[in-house]
Amino acid sequence: MPRRPPASAPHPVIASPAAPIPHQPPLPAILNAKIEQAAAYARAARATATRRAYDSDWAIFTAWCEAHGLIALPATPDVVAVFVSDQAVGGINPATIGRRVAAIGHHHRAHGYPAPTAQPDAGRLAEVLAGIRAEHGGAKRRKRPADAAVLQAMLAAVEGDGLRARRDRAILAIGMAAALRRSEIVALALDHVALVPEGLRLTIAQSKTDRTGAGAVIAIPEGARIRPKALLLGWMAAAGHRDGPLFRRLTRKDALTDAPMSDRAIARLVQSHAAAAGYDPALFGGHSLRAGFITEGAAQGATIFKLQEVSRHKSVQVLSDYVRDADLFRDHAGARFL
């Protein structure tokens, strides 16, 4: 007599007719699309200015390798060591050399190779880099801040009331009043500006330290000395544009274009008006506007936290240096006897 199956045995399952499976693209095609999407996110995570610098550094390295009959990808640590040594002898500062090494590593990783600095035999490269920093390093040279006095002199040196003059005055005033990076100035759009009775509310949609794109809103008071709101409104009324980039490129005949300015144009603009105001243009750059707000705010007694609200620094360490500079002579220990 046949044995019964155990009670716990599963009952046989009768398969029902399978539903038609919709056509799907081959798996490699799906993976390629996902990989490309992931690569796009990775590119977006790195600041535009950094990508541009890395591309330039990589081009310099590959050209050097080609001129010396060496392989750039993959490069050995010894090849990179000789490259950075040549760069140092040529007068390139250690910070730039360090960035070029980072760019070389970035391009290696992007192509599936380990960065030269991460390879087992990278000890000599590390020693060369340390030697360059020891031999050629020094205090970081900052651009001179365009504080209130400097900025007023620069604004006064902008001649005329044409389109270019109005635009340049607005850039100088807004860049300083909101402690903007030059990349943030050129990224501003008309819909980032809101007029309020107290002054302006400026939306910074994305910045160097805002990798998630959360954005920030900066308050700019009406002002009685620099008058950032009045100067911006003057530019907007003269330009007459209704949307798109706030600060546009102008033709040689001062005709308005649809294209935004470049961040390098901001640096040239600051230097040009610094020279017109009687200052050495080599001491100034695009960062002078941002540094000018922090320096002037600290000198006027603003707390480091109120400065941080405008500057949006993630750390107060950088800000503390500005505050320390502003306070060097305040309540000096030797003021009463020197």
Res. 16: pLDDT tops 50: no
Residue 142 lies in a domain: no
The overall average pLDDT reported for the chain is: 84
Check whether residue 179 and residue 228 sit in a common domain. yes
166, 218, 230, 234, 308 from 221: Cα distances, Å = 19, 10, 11, 16, 16
Confidence of residue 279 (pLDDT cuts 50, 70, 90): very high
The predicted model gives 197-213 an average pLDDT of 79
Residue whose token pair is 């205090």: 139
Mean pLDDT of 119-142: 82
Looking at residue 136, its pLDDT comes to 76
Q: Which of 171, 219, 159 is nearest to 195 (CA)?
A: 219
Asked whether residue 295 falls in the same domain as residue 222, the answer is yes
User: Does residue 191 fall inside a structural domain?
Assistant: yes
Q: What are phi and psi of 194, to 5 degrees?
A: -125, 130
pLDDT of residue 284: 94
User: Which of 91, 110, 136 is at the close of a domain?
Assistant: 136
Same domain, 58 and 205: no
Q: Which of 106-110, 139-143, 316-320 has the lowest mean pLDDT?
A: 139-143
- Does residue 289 sit in the same domain as residue 183? yes
pLDDT at 9: 44
Same domain assignment for residues 169 and 124:
no
Q: What's the pLDDT score for residue 11?
A: 43
Q: Which CATH number goes with the domain that contains 168?
A: 1.10.443.10
Q: For residue 279, what is the DSSP state?
A: S
Domain assignment present for 29: no
My answer on whether 96 and 160 are in the same domain is no
Most confident of 139-143, 162-166, 207-211, 326-330: 162-166
Query: Does one domain contain both 67 and 177?
Result: no
Question: What are the phi and psi torsion angles at 261 (to 5°)?
Answer: -70, 160
Q: Is residue 6 one of the residues assigned to a domain?
A: no
Using an 8 Å Cβ cutoff, are 174 and 180 in contact? Answer: yes
Residue 114 clears pLDDT 50, i.e. is over it: yes
pLDDT at residue number 52: 81
- Residue 7's pLDDT band (cuts 50, 70, 90): very low
- Predicted local distance difference test score (pLDDT) of residue 255: 93
Q: What is the pTM of this model?
A: 0.62
Q: Half-sphere exposure (CA, 13 Å, Cβ side) for 143?
A: 19
CATH number at residue 105: 1.10.150.130
Length of the chain: 338
- pLDDT at residue number 303: 85
| Coil, strand or helix at 187 | helix
Of 74, 103, 136, the position where a domain reaches its end is: 136
Residue 175's pLDDT is: 95
Range of the domain at 124: 43-136
Q: How confident is the model at residue 8 (pLDDT cuts 50, 70, 90)?
A: very low
Task: Examine the fold and report which residue of 136, 168, 202 is the final residue of a domain before the chain moves on.
Answer: 136
- Evaluate if residue 21 carries a pLDDT over 50: no
Q: Six-digit token pair at 43?
A: 């590119």
**Per-residue model confidence as pLDDT tens digits over 66-105:** 999 999 999 999 999 999 999 988 888 888 899 999 999 9
Say whether pLDDT at 40 is over 60.
no
- Mean local confidence (pLDDT), 270-282: 94
279 shares a domain with 310? yes
- Domain contains 248: yes
Q: Looking at mean pLDDT, say which of 30-34, 73-77, 93-97, 325-329 comes out highest.
A: 73-77
In this structure, the answer to whether residues 160 and 210 fall within a common structural domain is yes
How many structural domains is the chain composed of?
A: 2
CA distance 205 to 189: 9
